[in-house]
Copies of this chain bind each other. A is one copy, B any other.
Amino acid sequence: MPEADPAPDGATKGRSDLPRYDELPAAGRGGRSAWGLFGATDSVGLLNLQTDASVLAAAGLVRKGSVFSLNAELDAVDPPLDPDRAMFRHRVLHQPGPGFEDLDDVLDNFFPQGSSQWDSLAHVAYSPGVFYNGAADDDVLTGHRNTIDHWARRGIAGRGVLLDLDRALNDGGGSYTPDGATAFSVADLEHARSCAGIEFSPGCIVLLRTGFLGWYRGRPRPQRRRLAADLRAPGLEHTEEIARYLWDNQIMAVASDTFAVEVWPPAWGAEAAPFGFLHRVLIGQFGMALGELWWLDDLAADCAADGVHEFFLTSAPLNVPGGIGSPPNALAIK
């Protein structure tokens, strides 16, 4: 039964008194640690910043009633970008009876991270065997700590803001294209934010449009296949400044239209600094929700047209006990 998670021991959910990044304790392998801020057993991470007050305020951003669906089709990315996955199979089942007819359908080989997705806090560990908030492998695999159902049970709603890097970086004659491994610095993000005319707010959800998914989908299949064999995409640069920036702005989620949010490829060897593979820090230390391969082009066109880059965002992940990822099932409502 969709039980609410117990209140974390001693923690006030939705705390507004988050320490600054530089006040956080050092993490074992470098960077700063947010473990324990929401209680020792917390499995939700920065979604704790979602409060009744933040939701109520965000709902007020609905000003014209337009709805934008942010789920790309389930088969939008073909072939899969991860060689350990393969495309789902969908079958429609025909069940005619005497005097009536109905259809059913079934999905096999469905990888929830194959198209638009949330990464749960169980997706990437901070270091081998240690996930967000200190959860061990077994805590995750058997105990379902950090898994997607924790988010599914509470639902996600809040203020969404769009940083349209694709447009912002081409403003005034830029030559950005989404087909390479462009790394976005804090200055780039600030430029896009300034173009959007918005401020961040505690618990906001930042949508980062790079133009990647729209570009990718226009490629012929052989080119998409080559891309899968030699993955690269624009995204957040691999620096502590980026981590500090996201944390200090109390952003609870970042979703982009690439497969990784951060610039790809990362540096993820054993010797790499933790910021070489940002997932490790953002998911494994901060407990930040990362969204990938979201469909942002329709929303972005509307934002460009009306100049409004903030909206009410709702998302209801699949309620899979112990699930690792999920389509976001997100709507932006302006």
Q: Does A54 contact B (CB under 8 A)?
A: yes
- A320-334 interface mask toward B, CB cutoff 8 Å, 1 = contact, 0 = none? 111111011111010
- How far in angstroms is the closest Cβ of chain B from A209? 14
> From A324, which residue of chain B is reached at the shortest CB distance?
B105
Given contact pairs A65-B52, A270-B99, A108 touches B89 in the complex (Cβ within 8 A): yes
Is the pair A51, B65 in contact by a Cβ cutoff of 8 Å?
yes
Contact, CB under 8 Å: A123 / B99: no
Stretch of A55-63, A178-186, A192-200, A240-248 contacting B (4+ beta carbons < 8 Å): A55-63
A124 at the A/B interface (Cβ < 8 Å)? yes
Q: Is the CB of A152 within 8 A of B69?
A: yes
**Quick one: which of B106, B127, B323 contacts A111, CB cutoff 8 A?**
B106
Of all chain B residues, the one with the shortest Cβ separation from A82 is B104
The reply to whether A333 and B106 contact each other, CB–CB distance below 8 Å, is no
| CB-defined contacts of A269 to chain B, threshold 8 Å | 98-99
Interface residues in A112-156 (C-beta closer than 8 Å to B) = 112-113, 115-116, 122-125, 127-129, 137, 140-141, 149, 152-156
User: A321 near B99 (CB under 8 angstroms)?
Assistant: no
Give the Cβ gap from A65 to chain B, nearest Cβ, in Å. 3
A40 CB within 8 Å of chain B: no
A280 proximal to B (CB < 8 A): yes
Q: Is the CB of A128 within 8 A of B100?
A: yes
Q: Chain A interface residue count: which class?
A: 35 or more
Q: How far is the CA of A1 from the CA of B325 in the complex (A)?
A: 22
Q: How far is the CA of A314 from the CA of B55 in the complex (A)?
A: 14
Q: Is the CB of A65 within 8 A of B56?
A: yes
- B-chain residues with CB within 8 Å of residue A129 when the two chains form the complex: 101
CA distance A217 to B1 in the complex (A): 8
Most B CB within 10 A of own CB, among A97, A110, A312, A323:
A110
Q: Hey, which chain B residues are within 8 Å of A4, CB to CB?
A: 298
In the bound complex, CA of A329 to CA of B127 (Å): 32
A305 located at the interface, meaning its Cβ lies under 8 Å from any Cβ of chain B in the complex:
no
Contacts of A57 in B (CB 8 A): 65
Docked-complex contact B2 and A319, CB < 8 angstroms: no
A46 within 8 A of B: no
Question: Which 9 pairs between the two chains have the least Cβ-Cβ distance?
Answer: A99-B270, A56-B65, A52-B65, A329-B329, A59-B62, A55-B65, A86-B86, A316-B329, A105-B324
